[in-house]
Amino acid sequence: MNSKLPIPPKRAIIYQDQLLYVCLASYPITKGHVVVVWKKDVSDLRKLAERDYDYLMDTVDAARDAMMKALKVSKVYLIYMDEARHVHWHLVPRYNEKGFDIFSHKPKKTSDFSLAAKIKKRLVFK
């Protein structure tokens, strides 16, 4: 794994393999905010091989579907920003807010990763 990446707490991990990991965010925007992180040092989505991109996006889709069921939400925002210069997605559940309102929340460090197991139970790969 890339030594520059912060290592998430084990209890935050929802899924991981040799290529990526899925975990609850340490600084969530909302309850249940998930991050899908590519382990290798890749600075932009366009630099992934097609099969790696497809695998990453299949994992993002599976994580989103699991979140929707576990958190009982009808919408999960998928956010890709490359300012960190490392391939990763933020999956932010929308509860009773719409549009950009959700981004007015100030992320706060959390140590409550209890939702990881609940989301993990719902995770299904197609």
**Mean pLDDT, each 10-residue run in order, the chain (126 residues):** 72 96 94 95 93 97 97 93 87 80 80 95 92
- Give residue 1's pLDDT: 55
Q: Range of 35's domain?
A: 10-122
**pTM given for the model:** 0.90
CB distance 83 to 110 below 8 Å:
no
- Give residue 7's pLDDT: 83
- Give residue 100's pLDDT: 66
Asked whether residue 2 is assigned to any structural domain, the reply reads no
Asked whether residue 4 is assigned to any structural domain, the reply reads no
- Give residue 72's pLDDT: 95
CA 99 → CA 54, 83, 85, distances in Å? Answer: 27, 22, 26
In 3D space, the residue among 47, 36, 39, 30 whose CA is nearest the CA of residue 13 turns out to be 36
CB distance 65 to 29 below 8 Å:
no
Counted domains in the chain: 1
- Cα 67-68-69 angle, rounded to 5 deg: 90
